[in-house]
Chains A and B, each alone.
Chain A
Amino acid sequence: MQRTVFKSRWLPYLLVAPQLAVTVLFFFWPAVKSLQLSVYRVSPFGDRSTFVGLENFTKLLADPDYYASVLNSFLFAGGVTALSVLGSLVLAGLATQKIRGLAVYRTLLLWPYGIAPAVAGIIFLFIFHPAYGILPYLLSFVTAYEFNWLLKGWVAMSLVIVATAWTHLGYNIAFYIAGLLAIPASVIEAADVDGAGPLRRFTAIVFPLVSPITFYLVVLNMVFAFFESFGVIDAVTKGGPGQATEIMVYKLYKDGFIGLNLGSSGAQSVILMAIVIGLTVLQFRFAEKKVTYR
C-alpha cells in the first residue's frame, strides 16, 4: 500500500539527525572500538598495547569459567522468566475474575515494576541474610539445613532469581490482565455450558488464547534477564559464592573494570554482540512467520 508522504528536501534529514548522531557516537563508534579492543592486549594505563589476533577469544573459549558464566546466564534468565511469567499469569488470572476492586488489586500488583532490580536485590539480600534474614529464620523451624547463600551456590542463585522475578511481575501482569480481559465473555460462557470446570477452562481456552502474550513475555523476560541484570548481581552477590552467580555480563565488567583486562573484556563484548544479533535476527524471522491473530 502506498503511503501518503510529505515532500521536503531537508526536513527529514533534520528530523533523523539527532537520533543518528547519538547512534553513531554511542553505538557504532563503541562497537567498533570493542572489536578493536578485543584483538589487543592492553596494559591497564593504556601505555602499552600489542596486537594479539584472536588470542583473547581462544583464551576465553578455553576457559571453563567462561562456559560457567554462559550457563549461569541461561540458568538465571530461565529461572527469572519461568517464575515471573507463570506467577504473573496466575496473579492476572485471579485479578480478572468477576470481582470488585480490580483497579485496587491491579495497582497493588503493578508497583513492584518500579523497583530497581538492584534495590530489590538489596531488600532480598537482607531477607535471605544468613545471620539476620527472616527467611532462614523461618526455614530453621522447618529444617536444619543451613540456607547460607554465602556458601551454597544454589541459594545465592535463587536469591537473585527471586529478587529479579519479583520486579518483573508488574510488567507481565499488566500485559496478562489486558490480554485476559480481551477474551470475549461469550467464549468463556460457551465453555461453561459445555460443563468445563475452571481448570479445564483455563488450559483449553484461556491459555492458548493468551499464548501470543506468553510468547512475547517469555522473550522479553529472557532477554532482559540475560543482558540487563548487572545491577542485581553487583548489588547482592558480586558473582559469588565461587562463581555461582557470575553471569556473562558480570564477568565482562569484572574482567574489564576490576581485573583491568581490557582485551578479554572487549572479546566478551564481541561475543555478546554476536548473541544479541543472532537473537534479534531469529526473533524477527520467527515473528514474521507468525500468524497475526485477530
Chain B
Amino acid sequence: MPQTKTCRWSAAAVLFLVAALLLVPGPAFAKTEIHLWHALTGQLGESVNGLVKQFNESQSEYEVKPLRKGNYSETLTAAIAAYRQRQAPHIVQVFEVGTQTMMLSGAVLPVYQLMKEQEMTVDWKDFIAPVVGYYSKDGNLYSMPFNSSTPILYYNKDAFQKAGLDPNKPPQTWKQMEDYSKKLIASGTAKCGFSTAWPSWIQVENMHALHDQPFATRRNGFDGVDVQLLINREFGVKHLTQLAAWQKDGIFSYGGRMGTADPKFLSGDCGMYMHSSALIGGFTKGAKFKWGTAQLPHYGAPYKRATSIIGGATLWVMKGKPAAENRGTARFLKFISDTNQQMWWHVTTGYLAISNSAVKNLETAQHFKRNPDQFTAFAQLTKGTATPNSQGLRLGNFVQIRDVIESEMENIFAGKKSAKQGLDDAVAKSNDILKEFAAANKP
C-alpha cells in the first residue's frame, strides 16, 4: 500500500479521473434505445442480430436492442401484457395471423402514419404487391414486412432419377403429383409421394388463393369483421377429399402441423414436400440428396391460376412512445426496407426481399441464376394473376381458427370424418370464433 503522501494523492487523482470519465456522459452513452421483440431462433435469430448490428453501426443516435421473447404466440402475448403495464417495446414482430388483432387493437401506430409524422419518405410502390397488400388498409401500410415467405414444392431430384422421372421437370398439376407419386412408390424409391407442412396455411389457405377461390366472405375479411368462412364449398371439399383418398393410398402422408413432417422429406420417405420458401437454407444444410423446387401444383381448368399468399411476420410499432424514440424506430424501419438491406436479408435468411428494386438487383447480380430455388417463391407470388381472392386473409382470432381447421383436417386424414363433414364443422366453429372477435372488437 502506498504510504507516502504523493502516492496517496496520485491514487486519489486517478480515482477521481476515472470516476469523472464514468459519470460524465460522453456521446457514446447517450444512445436512445429502441426495443425490438421478435420470435426467431437459431440461425434466423442470429441474422436478426446481424441486421440490427448493421443499423446500430450505421448511425450513432439510436441503438436497437433485439430480444427473442418466445415463439410467435408468446411474443404477442408478452407484448400485450407489457402494453397493459405500459412497458411495451417499440417494435414487435407479429405473425401474419395476428394482423387483424393488431390492426383493430388501438395499441399500434401504423407504419405509414409513423413515417408521415417523422417526415420520412418511403417508396411504398416499390414493395411487392402481395406482401404489401396483406398488411395494408385503404392503401396504407400498417406494419413493416420483415420476414415473408410463401409455400413452394420441394422435390427429391435423386429419387426422381431413380424412379425414372426427369429430375428437371417437377410436377405442375395435381394430376402430375398423383402420377409422379405413384411412380415413386412403385419403383420402391419412396414410401410416399408427398407430404406437407403447415396444413392449413398451405393446403387450405394457399390452395384457395392459388385457384382463385374465396377463403372467407367480405373479400377474405379485408372489408369488415362480420366474416364467415367459405372453405366448405366445392373447391375445399374437392381438395380435402382428394388428400384424404391419397392418404389412404399412401400417395400423401400426413406428418403433423407446422414443420413436424420435415423428417419425412429429409429421410427420403416422401419424394416431394410442400413447405415455406424460408426452408431453403435449412434444407440446403440438412438434405443429403439433390433436390429442387417448383411452384405449388394446380388443378388446372376450370380454376384460374392466381398467386399464392404470404406467410411469416411483420414488425408493428407500438403506440405511446415519445416522438424522439419514434424517430429512431422510423429510421430503423426505413433502414431495413432499403434495397441493400433487403438483398442482404434475403441472401442470409432465405426470406423474400420485399421490394422490386431489391429483386431486380438480385437478378442483375445473377443471384437467382446461382440459386434458382430462391426465384420460385418470387415467381409464384408475382407471375400469376393477382385476384381479390389471392390478396391474403384478414381474420380476427386467426390463431384459433387455424387450430380449428387443422384439427378437423386431422380428423379427415384419420378417416374419422368425411371432408364435407370436417369442413362444415370447421366452418361452424370458426364462424363462432369470428363472431366472438367481432363482438369483442366493436369499435
Interface of A toward B, CB cutoff 8 Å: 41-48, 50, 65, 130-132, 150-153, 240-243, 254-255, 257-261
Contact = CB atoms under 8 A, between A and B. Distances in A.
Contacts of B107: 45, 47
B269 A131 contact: yes
Interface stretch (B112-120, B156-164, B182-190, B252-260): B252-260
B81 to A, nearest CB: 9
A41 B269 CA distance: 48
Given A43-B105, A150-B255, A48 B442 contact: yes
B84 A240 contact: no
B440 A41 contact: yes
A44 B410 CA distance: 29
Nearest to A146: B253
A58 to B, nearest CB: 13
Given A131-B267, A241-B414, A45 B397 contact: no
Interface in B360-404: 397, 399-400, 403
A240 B77 contact: no
B407 to A, nearest CB: 5
Contacts of B211: none
Contacts of A132: 263
B106 interface: yes
A24 B264 CA distance: 52
Contact of A47 (B106, B263, B410): B106
Interface in B66-122: 73, 77, 80, 83-84, 101, 105-107
A131 B77 CA distance: 33
B43 interface: no
B439 A41 contact: yes
Given A131-B267, A132-B263, A242-B411, 11 more contacts: A43-B441, A46-B84, A48-B442, A50-B440, A130-B255, A240-B256, A240-B257, A257-B73, A258-B73, A260-B101, A260-B397
B436 interface: yes
A43 B440 contact: yes
Interface of B: 73, 77, 80, 83-84, 101, 105-107, 254-257, 260, 263-264, 267, 269, 397, 399-400, 403, 407-408, 410-411, 413-414, 416, 429, 436, 439-442
Contacts of B441: 43, 48
A243 B407 contact: yes
Contact of A44 (B105, B255, B264, B269): B105
Nearest to B260: A150
Contacts of A255: 400
B443 to A, nearest CB: 9
B440 A259 contact: no
A264 to B, nearest CB: 8
Nearest to B408: A242
Most buried by A among B267, B407, B441: B407
A289 to B, nearest CB: 44
Given A43-B440, A45-B105, A131 B84 contact: no
A255 to B, nearest CB: 8
Contacts of A150: 254-256, 260, 410
A222 to B, nearest CB: 27
5 closest A-B pairs by beta carbon, nearest first, are A131-B263, A150-B256, A259-B400, A241-B410, A242-B410
B103 to A, nearest CB: 12
Contacts of A260: 77, 80, 101, 397
A152 to B, nearest CB: 7
B432 to A, nearest CB: 8
B106 A261 contact: no
A78 B416 CA distance: 25
B254 A45 contact: no
Nearest to A261: B436
B94 to A, nearest CB: 11
A45 B80 contact: yes
A44 B255 CA distance: 32
A132 B269 CA distance: 12
Contact of B106 (A45, A65, A257, A258): A45
Nearest to A246: B407
B268 to A, nearest CB: 11
A50 B260 CA distance: 40
Contacts of B106: 45, 47
Contact of A48 (B255, B436, B440): B440
Nearest to B397: A259
B400 A45 contact: no
Contact of B410 (A45, A50, A151): A151
Contacts of A152: 414
A159 to B, nearest CB: 13
B264 A131 contact: yes
24 contacts: A41-B436, A41-B440, A43-B440, A45-B80, A45-B83, A45-B84, A45-B107, A46-B80, A46-B83, A65-B429, A150-B256, A151-B414, A240-B410, A242-B414, A242-B416, A243-B407, A254-B403, A257-B73, A257-B77, A258-B399, A259-B399, A260-B101, A261-B397, A261-B436
A153 B416 CA distance: 11
Contacts of B257: 240
A65 B425 CA distance: 12
Contacts of A261: 397, 400, 436
Contacts of A47: 105-107
A242 B77 contact: no
Contacts of B414: 151-153, 241-242
B200 to A, nearest CB: 13
Contacts of A48: 440-442
A44 B80 contact: yes
B80 to A, nearest CB: 6
A99 B440 CA distance: 67
Nearest to A263: B440
A46 B254 CA distance: 39
Nearest to A255: B400
A68 B106 CA distance: 36
B254 A151 contact: yes
Contacts of A240: 256-257, 407, 410
Most buried by B among A131, A242, A254, A255: A242
Contacts of B440: 41-44, 48, 50
